[in-house]
Structure 1
Amino acid sequence: MSSPQPLQEERYDMSGAHLALTLCVTKAREGCEADIDALERMFRHLKFESTVKRDPTAQEFLDEMDKFQQTIDNWEEPVSCAFVVLMAHGEEGFLKGEDDKMVRLEDLFEVLNNKNCKGLRAKPKVYIIQACRGEHRDPGEEVGEEQVSAITKDNLQTIPTFTDALHIYSTVEGFIAYRHDQKGSAFIQTVTNVFTNRKGSIIELLEEVTRIMADMEVIQDGKPRKVNPEFQSTLRKKLYLQ
C-alpha cells in the first residue's frame, strides 16, 4: 500500500495591486471609529490602497460595491487581491444601512465573483463582516480543544463562479457581535493585530484569531460572554498577506 502523497503548496500571486474598501455605518455604533483606524493601519502595513465610506444607506452599500468593481476592472495594473470590510448592525444574511433599510449580504458578495468582476477572476477576495447575526448570547461551555483543518484543491481550465473567496464573520450564525464604546470591537482589533504582526497563510492567521478570541471574555449586562469568529473559504491556493 502506497503512502499518501503530500499536498502541494500553491500560492496566490500577490505581486500586483492590493485594493481595499471599508463600508461602515457609524450610526448608533459607538467605538467603530477605533475599528476604522485599526483597519487603515493594517491596510497601510500590508500595502493596500484603501477607501473608506462612512454611513452608507442600504442602496449605497450596493452602489459603493459596484464602484469598487469598476475601479478594480479599470485599474492600471493587474490586481492581485481585494479586501471588503462591512461594518453595520445586522442579522443573519443582512446588513442595516444608515437609513435603517436592509441589504442582502449575498447581493454584496456577488458583485466581485468570478462572473461579475473580470479583474478579480481567480484572484482572492476577502470579506470581513463585523455585524450581529442574531440575538443569541453565549455564556460559554467547558469543552476540550478541537482542531479544524481545511484542504482546497486547484481547478484548471475553467473556474467556478464562486471560488477564491473568503468570508470572515465576527460571530457565528444566530449570535450577537460585541463592540466596546471606546476601544472598538474585539474582533476587528484582534484581526488587525494578528494580520499585522504575525506571519503565515491567511487561514493560519484566522485560526490564531479564533484561538485568541476563544480565550477572551466579554462582560455584557454584568455577565461574562464568549464570542468567536467564523470563516468560510473557497480559496484554491494559499494566501499570504505579508
Structure 2
Amino acid sequence: MSNPRPLEEEVYDMSGARLALTLCVTKAREGSEADLNALERMFRQLGFESTMKRDPTAQQFQEEMDNFQQALDARNDPVSCAFVVLMAHGLEGRLKGEDGQMVELENLFEVLNNKNCQALRGKPKVYIVQACRGEQRDPGETVSGGDIVMITKDSPETIPTYTDILHVYSTIKGYIAYRHDREGSCFIQTLVDVFTERKGPILELLTEVTRRMAEAELVQEGKPRKVNPEIQSTLRKRLYLQ
C-alpha cells in the first residue's frame, strides 16, 4: 500500500485590490461602535479598502450590496478579494434593517456570486454575519473525543456559480449571538484579534476563532452560556490575508 501524497497547496492570488463593505445597524445594538472600530483596525492592517455604512434600512442593505457590486465591476485594476460584514438583529436567514423591516440574507449573498459579479469571478468572497439566528441559548455540554476533518480538492476548468465563497456566522442556526454593551460582540472582537495577531490560511484562523469562543465563559441574565461561530466554505484554494 503506497503512502498518501500530501496535498499540493494552491492559493488565491492576493496581489490585487482588497475591498471590504461593512453594513451595521447600531440602533438598539449597544457595543456596535466597538465592533466597527475593531473591524476598521483589522481592515487597515490587512490592506483592505474599507467602506462602512451605519444604520441601513432593509432596502438599503440590498442597495448598498448592489452599489458595491457595480463599483467592483467598474474598477480598472484587478480585484483579489472582497469581505462583506453584515451586523444587525436577525432571525435565521434574515436581517432586520434600521426601519424594522427584514431583508433576506440569500438575496444579499446572490449579488457577488460568480454569475453576477465579474470582478470577483473565481475570487474569494467572505461574508461575516454578526446577528442572531434564533432564540435558543446554549448552556454548554461536557464532551470528549476528537474531530474528523475531511479535505477535498477540485480544480475544474469551469467553476460553479456558488464557489469561492466563505460564510462565517456569529452563531449556529437557531441560536442567539451575544454582544456586550461596551466591549462589542464576542464574535467580532475575537475574529479581529485572531486575524490581526496570527498568520495562516483563513480556515485555520477561523478554527482558532471557534476554539477561543468555545472556551469563553459568557454570562447572560446570571446564567452561563456557550456560543461558537458556524463556518460554511466553498473555497477552492487557501486564502491568506497576511
Name structure 1 gaps, 5 residues minimum.
none
Q: Are the equivalent residues in 2 in contact too, given 1:152–1:237 (CA < 8 A)?
A: no
Following the alignment from structure 1 to structure 2, what is the Cα–Cα distance between the partners of residues 190 and 33? 15
Deviation at 1:74, TM superposition (A): 1.2
1:2 aligned partner = 2
1:67 aligned partner = 67
Deviation at 1:217, TM superposition (A): 1.1
Secondary structure of 1:112's match?
coil
The reply to whether residue 139 of structure 1 matches residue 139 of structure 2 is yes
| Paired residues for 1:152-167 under 5 Å | 152-167=152-167
2:118 aligned partner = 118
**Closer/same/farther in 2, CA of residues 52 and 145 from structure 1, 3 Å limit:** farther
The reply to whether residue 22 of structure 1 matches residue 22 of structure 2 is yes
**Closer/same/farther in 2, CA of residues 148 and 186 from structure 1, 3 Å limit:** farther
Q: Which runs of 4+ in 1 moved over 4 A?
A: none
TM-score by length of 1: 0.98
Q: What letter corresponds to residue 78 of structure 1 in structure 2?
A: P
Following the alignment from structure 2 to structure 1, what is the Cα–Cα distance between the partners of residues 184 and 16? 31
1:42 aligned partner = 42
**Closer/same/farther in 2, CA of residues 112 and 34 from structure 1, 3 Å limit:** same
Following the alignment from structure 1 to structure 2, what is the Cα–Cα distance between the partners of residues 152 and 72? 30
1:31 aligned partner = 31
Greater mean alpha carbon deviation, residues 163-172 or residues 142-151: 142-151
2:236 aligned partner = 236
Following the alignment from structure 2 to structure 1, what is the Cα–Cα distance between the partners of residues 146 and 29? 33
CA-to-partner distance for each residue in 1:9-64, whole Å, 9 max, x for gaps?
10000000000000000110000000000000000000000000000011100000
CA-to-partner distance for each residue in 1:100-130, whole Å, 9 max, x for gaps?
1111100000100000000000000000000
Tell me the C-alpha RMSD between the 2 structures: 0.9
CA-to-partner distance for each residue in 1:158-211, whole Å, 9 max, x for gaps?
110000000000000000000000000010000001001101100000000000
Secondary structure of 1:173's match?
coil
TM-score by length of 2: 0.98
Greater mean alpha carbon deviation, residues 1-10 or residues 65-74: 1-10
Q: Are the equivalent residues in 2 in contact too, given 1:23–1:87 (CA < 8 A)?
A: yes
1:183 aligned partner = 183
Name structure 2 gaps, 5 residues minimum.
none
**Closer/same/farther in 2, CA of residues 150 and 109 from structure 1, 3 Å limit:** farther
The reply to whether residue 89 of structure 1 matches residue 89 of structure 2 is yes
CA-to-partner distance for each residue in 1:109-162, whole Å, 9 max, x for gaps?
010000000000000000000000000000001111532434242332211000
Following the alignment from structure 1 to structure 2, what is the Cα–Cα distance between the partners of residues 148 and 72? 38
Following the alignment from structure 2 to structure 1, what is the Cα–Cα distance between the partners of residues 15 and 228? 32
Pairs aligned (count): 242
Following the alignment from structure 1 to structure 2, what is the Cα–Cα distance between the partners of residues 160 and 105? 20
Q: What letter corresponds to residue 140 of structure 2 in structure 1?
A: G
2:222 aligned partner = 222
Following the alignment from structure 2 to structure 1, what is the Cα–Cα distance between the partners of residues 131 and 190? 15
Greater mean alpha carbon deviation, residues 74-83 or residues 116-125: 74-83
Give percent identity, aligned residues only. Answer: 72
